[in-house]
Amino acid sequence: MLASQVKAFADELVPLVSGFKAWCDPVICTPFVLLPAALNVFKEKGIGVGAQNMSQYASGAYTGEVSAAQLTDIGTEYVIIGHSERRELYGETDTSVNKKVHAALESPLCPIVCVGESLEQRETGVTYDLVALQVKAALFGVAAEMMDRVIIAYEPVWAIGTGKTATPEDAQDVCRAIREVLASLYNSGIADAVSILYGGSMNDKNAFDLLAQPDIDGGLIGGASMKPESFAVIINAANQ
């Protein structure tokens, strides 16, 4: 999407969701260059705006990077951290993800922390151990009082952009395991309060079944979010 297309997208989406019960918080996460346009059209419509990445550094000579302070200065509220594509294509590690989480929490940003396994890892039976490790690493050193701003997104890498999706039961099992990890790190109250999203090819056809699961609180939507009608169906499903 181009900046010149953002308003038309918003004009189509907002009327489709304006009558829904506000039980969920829709958020649009865009590339850096689209943030000003998105903030201009969405913030007054009850739809949050987030970035798709950020720097782990607060300041310094890091050409091409965008800091938490720069994001919040223009009104950004959320940031995706550790997306599978960032890990796979750009070499992000559990350590750099943890540093970005801390950088976000030192600002007003709400980090959406992504965890998930590849097809090979799933087939070798290490899904639960791997996801638990990623959650623990991402949240290392994060104080309990900061957890009310943290969102966890489970995105099985094998189900992103492939049209494949975990069954509702499989997705629920991993999301429940994530909540159990949070309870072990903090307590059951904090674990229950953290929003856990599912991010593996959720669309308007499977959203209701996925979001009916007790430990799936929302979705991290990819391709389906580019189609206002489909995205509106998913938002409606999250409001049930």
Is the Cβ–Cβ distance between 166 and 215 less than 8 Å?
no
Q: Give the integer Cα–Cα distance in Å for 213 and 10.
A: 29
pTM: 0.95
Marked catalytic residue, from 77, 92, 117, 155: 155
Q: Which of 83, 92, 102, 117 is catalytic?
A: 83
The correct CATH number of 3-238 out of 3.90.600.10, 3.40.50.2300, 3.40.630.30, 3.20.20.70 is 3.20.20.70
In the chain, domain spans: 3-238
Please say if 102 is a catalytic residue. Answer: no
pLDDT above 80 (res 21): no
* Residue 179 vs residues 71, 141, 142, 235: alpha-carbon distances, Å: 29, 18, 16, 23
Cβ–Cβ < 8 Å for 157, 88: yes
Higher pLDDT, 44 or 13: 13
Let me know: does 224 contact 203? Beta carbons within 8 Å.
yes
pLDDT by residue (tens digit) across 156-197? 988 776 667 789 999 999 999 999 999 999 999 999 999 999
Confidence label for 17 from pLDDT (cuts 50, 70 and 90): confident
Residues 227-240 pLDDT 10s: 999 999 999 888 87
Q: In angstroms, rounded to a whole number, what is the distance separating the alpha carbons of residues 157 and 153? A: 12
